[in-house]
């Protein structure tokens, strides 16, 4: 793949920490669709979706198809340049290391806001987790009527950035107290004690494409924007 000229670190430099997940999903009506019934990924549309994603400056290479359930491997700087995108009918998704942050910014929130402008009738759901000696998470759900919840922080510490209303999101989705109990989520607990990714996943329900090996994503080698490249360099490489 053509080298990414915005980096100052070489492609084989080992990263610090790892990203357990960094995906954002656009679920367009009908919301009752199930992942089992979704059509195959459309590689051409997936490429256009990746090219239009605000963290991406340019798609440089098509790396072929990979299962949606494949866990991201972040070992070297070159791995940070790999984005996976899928378009399965009315469901669009992207997994991008540039969505990861350590609390200095909220890239998932910013990209969800931009996607909401493009897809106002969709449910926007994002889940990000990075391990840099300790996990940092960012999670969001944004519904078509504007109901939203966003959380960003370190599960064992402070500060936490919270916006929106998880109770309103649960009510809008018709989530019952029993369903919350089943996933061991207490919306009134301290923010660092809540598995927010499990909560926001309720907005996708059975339409969630990411757990399924039969659904394929298109993998692309990309050049991220200068600003996101700088942010990743500061996060993944001590001393820049």
Q: What integer is the mean pLDDT of 156-178?
A: 90
Rounded to an integer, what is the distance from CA 5 to the centroid of its chain? 25
Q: How many CA atoms lie within 13 A of 202 on its CB side?
A: 25
Give the pLDDT mean for 212-229: 96
Beta bridge partners of 83: 220
Provide the 3-class DSSP secondary structure of residue 83. strand
Q: What is the DSSP letter of 37?
A: G
**Residues 194, 186 contacting (CB under 8 angstroms):** yes
Does 166 score more than 90 pLDDT?
yes
pLDDT at 131: 77
User: 174 in the Ramachandran plot: left (φ > 0), alpha (ψ -120 to 50) or beta?
Assistant: left
Per-residue pLDDT for 80 more than 80?
yes
6-53 pLDDT per residue, tens: 999 999 999 876 666 899 999 999 999 999 999 999 999 999 999 999
Predicted pLDDT at 141: 97
pLDDT for 55: 97
Mean per-residue pLDDT over the chain, rounded = 91
Q: How far apart are CA 161 and CA 102, in angstroms?
A: 12
User: Do 35 and 209 form a contact (C-beta atoms < 8 A)?
Assistant: yes
User: What is the C-alpha to C-alpha distance for residues 64 and 46, in angstroms, rounded to an integer?
Assistant: 11
Taken in order 35, 197, 94, 142, the sign of the CA dihedral is positive
A 10 A CB-CB count for 110 gives: 14
pTM over 0.75: yes
Give the alpha-carbon dihedral of 129, 133, 134, 138, to 10 degrees. Answer: -20
pLDDT band for position 136 (50/70/90)?
A: confident
Per-residue model confidence (pLDDT) at position 19: 60
Q: Is the pLDDT of residue 175 over 80?
A: yes
Q: Write the CB contacts of 50 (distance below 8 Å, at least 6 apart in sequence).
A: 56, 59, 83, 85, 94, 218, 220, 222
């Amino acid at each position: 793949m053509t080298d990414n000229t915005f980096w100052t670190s070489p492609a084989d430099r080992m990263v610090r920490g790892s990203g357990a997940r960094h995906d954002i999903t656009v679920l367009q009506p009908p919301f009752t669709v199930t992942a089992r019934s979704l059509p195959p990924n459309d590689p051409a549309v997936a490429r256009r979706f990746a090219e239009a994603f605000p963290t991406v400056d340019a798609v440089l290479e098509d790396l072929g198809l990979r299962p949606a359930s494949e866990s991201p491997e972040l070992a070297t700087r070159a791995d940070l340049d790999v984005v996976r995108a899928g378009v399965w009918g009315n469901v669009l998704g992207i997994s991008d290391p540039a969505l990861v942050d350590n609390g200095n910014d909220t890239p998932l929130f910013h990209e969800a806001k931009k996607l909401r402008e493009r897809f106002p009738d969709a449910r926007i759901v994002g889940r990000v987790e990075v391990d840099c000696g300790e996990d940092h998470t960012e999670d969001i759900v944004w519904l078509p009527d504007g109901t939203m919840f966003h959380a960003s922080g370190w599960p064992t510490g402070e500060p936490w950035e919270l916006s929106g209303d998880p109770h309103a999101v649960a009510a809008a989705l018709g989530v019952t107290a029993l369903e919350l109990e089943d996933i061991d989520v207490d919306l009134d607990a301290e923010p660092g004690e809540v598995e927010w990714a499990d909560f926001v996943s309720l907005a996708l329900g059975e339409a969630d494409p990411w757990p399924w090996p039969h659904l394929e994503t298109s993998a692309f080698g990309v050049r991220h924007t200068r600003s996101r490249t700088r942010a990743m360099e500061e996060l993944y490489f001590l001393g820049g």
